[in-house]
Amino acid sequence: MMKVVIIQVILLVISFQAY
């Protein structure tokens, strides 16, 4: 379950870095 949360956090960071 923790891996899913980590993946979502990483995707969120990537989205922020895209800007």
| pLDDT, tens digit (0-9, with 9 covering 90-100), for 1-19 | 799 999 999 999 999 998 7
Distance CA 17, CA 19 (A): 5
pLDDT of residue 1: 76
DSSP 8-state code for residue 19: -
pLDDT of residue 6: 98
- pTM for the full predicted model: 0.18
pLDDT of residue 2: 92
| Rg, C-alpha atoms of the chain | 9
pLDDT of residue 18: 80
